[in-house]
Structure 1
Amino acid sequence: MSKTSLFAPTTKKMVYDRIARQNDISKAELLEEFKLTSSSLTRMLEELVEDSWIFEAGFGQSTGGRKPILYRINPLRRVIFGLEISRLSSSLGLYDLNLTPLAYHKWPMDETMTPERLVEVIGESAAEMLKEHGLDQSQVEGMGIGAVGPLDRKAGIILNPEYFPAKGWENVPICQWMETRTGIKAILENGANAALIGEHWALRDDKVQHMLYVHAGTGLRSAMMSNGRLVHGAVDMEGSIGQMIIQTDGPRLHDTGNYGALEAFASVQALEKQVRVQQKLGAGRLAELGFPEEGLQQPDKIHFDLLVQALHQGYPVIRDLFEQSAAYLGVGLANLINILHPEIVILGGALISAHSSYYDKAIAVARDKIYYVAQYQPQFSKGNLQENAVSTGAAILVFDQIRI
């Protein structure tokens, strides 16, 4: 058990976080950033070493006197679970305090994956991960959950997300259920925000302050960071980007939402819908690609994986549909960029990973429509963490709340 500290927890946590961001950092470097006397910082570092949060990792280069002691966090002082809940797949990662994944598992979200079933699967997998690494549940700091919204983050509830294949995903108290099943404290954030938190952590050495994240998959989701902090609205509606109107007389995806909304042009569902319509009209000729007979006879069973297959085979009709979708996404990106002016725009999701041509087309259109283009050129990226961004960001939520 840790002894009572002479210092405010926030100060000690800030020092610990600084060590975690760099590793192999000297006392002199820490003194440059914190308004502490040398003796106070020395005692604080001694406490952290005694409580096994950090350890002495050797000596640095001498600048004329003794070689400085370097400090590094103890990565297994605690472990953290990061969970992503999405419409196409969900995944669980076990992370050490360096946010290095120790174990990772992913599940498809089909029509059988109800909330109750997912909680049970996650509980079993979490126990197996701990056992595999010789870890006890007492070493688990918590579980961060990044989920499709809208959410009640404070109450830990997934409210009424659309387009889940399974039934039952309305008003799900996911944190309560997960804590009951695993005995591990859980916190909730929407998936786009979690992904942005993860990617921001991955870019911590670059000191990026203004970032935009856009996820293009079954639906469209976005998150924004300004001055290094997430921008939260009055309500949690991460999918509202999909309702951005880009064609006033355009279609809408289903029987709800705006006519001419971005999701009706640039989403997995939009592409599936367009190809199904073409096949019903006899224009798709998908048999030439070796598509399953059931998909040809029943167009409603044509799904995204088959479209990606067709795209990689260079089938012209499918290629043109993906290119058109990417162009519309580029228009939506330009609208966001012209309002928010991020330094970096990170794109993720099934559409972005489907083929490099989709990403290239989307950013080419976005760049062409950015205002003040001579003075302002944001960077575009698929991110460093990519498919692990949400689960990593969810784990970081827990890391940030560690009490030392």
Structure 2
Amino acid sequence: MLNHSHFSVKKQIYDRIAYLGVVSKADLIKHFSIASSSMTRLLEDMLEQKLILISGHGTSTGGRKPILFQTNPHYRYLLGLEISRISSSLGLFDMHLNQLSVVKWEMDRQLSPERLVEFVLTETKKMLHRHQISHKQILGLGIGAVGPLDTKKGIILHPEYFPSYSWSNVPICAMLEKELNIPTKLDNGANTALLAEHWALRKETCEHMLYVHAGVNIRSSIMSGGQILRGVADTEGAIGQMIIQLGGRKLKDKGNYGSLEAYVSVPSLVERVQSQLKIGRDSTLSGFPPESINFTSLVIALKQNDTLVREVFLETASYLGVGLANLINTVHPEYVIISGAIVNADSVVYDTAIQVARKNIYHYPSCYDPIFTPGVLREEGVLTGAALQILQAWEE
């Protein structure tokens, strides 16, 4: 049996190999400053445990070709669960974060926390049977959910705009642990998405990142020095209360006047188009009762180049660009990842938001120029990052 300190070093070595993909013993010694004989024993132990595998040989620098190591993707397996307002997804992953299976549920008024837990239990059993994986091979279940959350207690607190009203003060971790009998870990979806994108971009050695999700509300996550910035409370939606227009509109009588969310969110966008239709603006949607117009209707109209709908989407994108610039000028990320239903509605929304953001970024005295991207994993980011939580926190 390994003592804690011994395994702690071994876990750090494992994490380094996982992060780099393939690595030689010499590279590990340089990073950890461990004697060659000690590193050899640790690697031999990890090979015997099947934690790692020999993946081949590197390039010779004059002597023998160095042995290259990689983590064993099938040593254990991970589960990831995304819980959002529109849909929820469950995924099964190997230790390289390759997605082996995934299932998705639409969130409707009947999908209570209890029903979702039932679905997760049923689908987990099906996935394990399909891939011939035993229950003891599962390291745990990571959850990326809409906030606000109490991550320490594993509770979803008071999320807005859920179709079912039963998603309030839900001890989701305790509920799932009881049924699945595996460890669970909860974080907000913006954080798990950023964790996953950072993992996907690890060869770029990017340490400072900003993630913004524009959908039913505005969600964000910030990474500095390779670590997610966390405050004393779960505040993934706080960006939405950034004031961008003094004395401006308020969204559904909630939050701040002139807040970003009042101009950049699905409810705001739908409300503004409905208002314009009510005063008689021409649109391909004019023949429908304004109250029946929803976000799906707007996306279709945008694709058809409807003048009114395009105007409101571009206005929304411009406000998003202003909000992005404010955040960028504060935290100076290397990468800015923009995602969400509004951004994904059409490329013109994404392009406009970036254009406005770039014009409002403060460059002096350096040539600071962050990279904007929709992300590598995109819609799979939250789910993949949820599973990644377990891999990073895992201790044998």
Task: Name the TM-score, length of structure 2 as normaliser.
Answer: 0.96
- Indicate if the aligned counterparts of 1:149 and 1:158 stay in contact, CA closer than 8 A: yes
Aligned partner (choices 191, 195, 204) of residue 206 of structure 1 = 204
Deviation at 1:188, TM superposition (A): 0.5
**Residue 85 of structure 1 pairs with residue 99 of structure 2:** no
**Mean CA deviation greater in 126-135 or 168-177:** 126-135
Residues 190-233 of structure 1: CA deviation (Å, up to 9, x unaligned): 11111111111111111111111100000001111111111111
Partner residue, 2:309 = 318
Aligned counterparts of 2:361 and 2:5: Cα–Cα separation in 1? 49
The one-letter code sitting in structure 2 at the alignment partner of 1:343 is: E
- Indicate if the aligned counterparts of 2:283 and 2:306 stay in contact, CA closer than 8 A: no
**Structure 2 residue runs without a partner (length 5+):** none
Residues 58-113 of structure 1: CA deviation (Å, up to 9, x unaligned): 32232222222221211011100111111122111111111111112222222222
What are the residue-to-residue correspondences of 1:222-237 with 2, within 5 Å? 222-237=220-235
What are the residue-to-residue correspondences of 1:378-393 with 2, within 5 Å? 378-393=370-385
Aligned counterparts of 1:265 and 1:125: Cα–Cα separation in 2? 39
**Residue 400 of structure 1 pairs with residue 372 of structure 2:** no
**Structure 1 residue runs without a partner (length 5+):** none
Aligned counterparts of 1:342 and 1:185: Cα–Cα separation in 2? 33
Aligned counterparts of 1:273 and 1:113: Cα–Cα separation in 2? 26
Aligned counterparts of 2:183 and 2:10: Cα–Cα separation in 1? 23
Deviation at 1:155, TM superposition (A): 0.1
Partner residue, 1:255 = 253
Aligned partner (choices 287, 292, 304) of residue 295 of structure 2 = 304
Aligned residues: 395
Residues 24-45 of structure 1: CA deviation (Å, up to 9, x unaligned): 3221221121111111111101
- Indicate if the aligned counterparts of 1:149 and 1:160 stay in contact, CA closer than 8 A: yes
Aligned counterparts of 1:309 and 1:6: Cα–Cα separation in 2? 57
Deviation at 1:271, TM superposition (A): 1.0
The one-letter code sitting in structure 2 at the alignment partner of 1:42 is: T
Aligned counterparts of 1:125 and 1:278: Cα–Cα separation in 2? 45
Partner residue, 1:128 = 126
Aligned counterparts of 1:319 and 1:266: Cα–Cα separation in 2? 14
- Indicate if the aligned counterparts of 1:7 and 1:44 stay in contact, CA closer than 8 A: no
**Mean CA deviation greater in 71-80 or 104-113:** 104-113
Residues 177 and 300 from structure 1, CA distance in 2 versus in 1: closer, same or farther, beyond 3 angstroms? farther
Task: Name the TM-score, length of structure 1 as normaliser.
Answer: 0.94
The percentage of aligned residue pairs carrying the same residue is 50
Aligned counterparts of 1:211 and 1:167: Cα–Cα separation in 2? 34
Aligned counterparts of 1:67 and 1:259: Cα–Cα separation in 2? 65
Aligned counterparts of 2:4 and 2:27: Cα–Cα separation in 1? 22
- Indicate if the aligned counterparts of 1:275 and 1:284 stay in contact, CA closer than 8 A: no
Residues 137-183 of structure 1: CA deviation (Å, up to 9, x unaligned): 11100011011111110000011111111111110001011112222
What are the residue-to-residue correspondences of 1:155-304 with 2, within 5 Å? 155-287=153-285, 296-297=288-289, 299-304=290-295
- SS of 1:252's equivalent in the other structure is coil
- Indicate if the aligned counterparts of 1:57 and 1:72 stay in contact, CA closer than 8 A: yes
Deviation at 1:286, TM superposition (A): 3.4
Aligned counterparts of 1:345 and 1:169: Cα–Cα separation in 2? 31
Aligned partner (choices 329, 342, 345) of residue 354 of structure 1 = 345
Residues 281 and 124 from structure 1, CA distance in 2 versus in 1: closer, same or farther, beyond 3 angstroms? farther
Residues 4 and 234 from structure 1, CA distance in 2 versus in 1: closer, same or farther, beyond 3 angstroms? closer
Aligned counterparts of 2:177 and 2:284: Cα–Cα separation in 1? 47
- Indicate if the aligned counterparts of 1:151 and 1:190 stay in contact, CA closer than 8 A: yes
- Indicate if the aligned counterparts of 1:348 and 1:386 stay in contact, CA closer than 8 A: yes
Residues 33 and 327 from structure 1, CA distance in 2 versus in 1: closer, same or farther, beyond 3 angstroms? same
Partner residue, 2:327 = 336
Aligned counterparts of 2:4 and 2:315: Cα–Cα separation in 1? 62
- Indicate if the aligned counterparts of 2:79 and 2:93 stay in contact, CA closer than 8 A: yes
The one-letter code sitting in structure 2 at the alignment partner of 1:380 is: F
Please report the RMSD computed on the Cα atoms of aligned residues, expressed in angstroms.
Answer: 1.6
- SS of 1:8's equivalent in the other structure is helix
